Structure 1
Amino acid sequence: MTQAVAYEDAVDLLDADHKGVKALFIKFNALCDDDAPAEEKQPVADKICKELTVHAQIEEEIFYPAVRAAVGDDALMDEALQEHADAKAAIADIQGMSAGDKGFDDKVKALGKAIDEHVLEEREQIFLQARLSALDLRGMAVALFERKKQLQGARPAAAAKKKKVAA
């Protein structure tokens, strides 16, 4: 039996992720504008990185391969995957720093700008092509939702193991 999800379809779910991350970037930028201490900025940056990592993974595992097969636009999908690779490299840099480090704020802000550009292209091109294709986007929403929840559940355990090793 398939689980009901609170999204119209796969595009709606993915776009909800985009909006959630955008809100986090806005919060981070506001903290920077207010000269907030590193202790306030760090958890927001950490959440941005976690949310983007999960989002990229569900797109790469489920959504992108299905769209590629349905629409056959390899160049578009290859570009999206390259943008994900660039974002992952930026995320790794951010995760290797702390909010008090010189350049941290600029790195997070630059990631936000890159994500804004990626989201715009995704909405205008990939999502549009997906909606015009024969893909079962409603059914895919369930698979995306379940995988997202699985990855979110796995993240805290991995972080807890890392902290135990470091302690």
Structure 2
Amino acid sequence: MPSSQRQKDVCDLLDADHKAVKKMFKDFDALCESRARNAPQMRLDLAREICIELTVHAQVEEELFYPALRDAIKETDLIAEAEVEHQTAKDLIAQIQAAETADEAFDAKVKVLGEYIDHHVKEERNEIFPKARAARKLDLVALRDEVAERKQELMDEQLAVA
């Protein structure tokens, strides 16, 4: 079925997150070029927003998407690799969130995180999502609803402490 006729599934939902975060990283890069007086604070704020988005995204993948996928496909090495990539991203996220100023090292960490996420997204799009969509015993539309609900809960929690 062409993608315009099939119902949106969990892969579409997760990929929408990917696209939103990619735009945020582009906005961050533009702020790095900005000479505005408030650019450093704007970079700090945007980086924290990126970190919240990525934290929530990674958590719903780890709690719901990856376990469902692990039960439905044979090649689970891709999932293990994705989980390791998440952990490395979380380490960088923690460093970014702990920063008090947007200096050169801070900007470098955010840029490296962006490159890292870009690599991770390509693997999900090109390898994991096609395998998920080919798995017969996986209801990706029901999983989309479950992920969307959990994502909203986690986002509410993040915003309550931010």
Same structural fold, with TM-score higher than 0.5 when normalized by the shorter chain: yes
Pairing partner for 1:139 from 138, 142, 149:
142
Pairing partner for 1:47 from 46, 49, 58:
49
Alpha-carbon distance between aligned partners in 1 of 2:77 and 2:64, rounded to the nearest angstrom: 18
Pairing partner for 1:156 from 133, 138, 159:
159
Count of aligned pairs: 153
Where does residue 24 of structure 1 map in the other structure?
A: 24
Q: Report the identity percentage.
A: 49
CA distances 1:107-126 after superposition (whole Å, capped 9, x unpaired):
00000000000000110010
Alpha-carbon distance between aligned partners in 1 of 2:160 and 2:49, rounded to the nearest angstrom: 15
Pairing partner for 1:120 from 98, 119, 122:
122
Aligned to 1:114, the other structure's residue is in SS state helix
- 2:24 maps to 1:13: no
CA distances 1:85-130 after superposition (whole Å, capped 9, x unpaired):
0000000010111343340000000000000000001100100100
Q: Which moved more, 1:88-97 or 1:35-44?
A: 35-44
TM-score, length-normalised on structure 2? Answer: 0.90
Where does residue 108 of structure 1 map in the other structure?
A: 110
Identify unmatched segments of 5+ residues in structure 2: 1-6
CA distances 1:9-54 after superposition (whole Å, capped 9, x unpaired):
1000000000000000000001102244211111110110000000
Identify unmatched segments of 5+ residues in structure 1: 1-6, 160-167
Alpha-carbon distance between aligned partners in 1 of 2:70 and 2:26, rounded to the nearest angstrom: 32
Kept in 2: contact 1:99–1:105 (CA 8 A): no
Kept in 2: contact 1:58–1:147 (CA 8 A): yes
Deviation at 1:75, TM superposition (A): 1.2
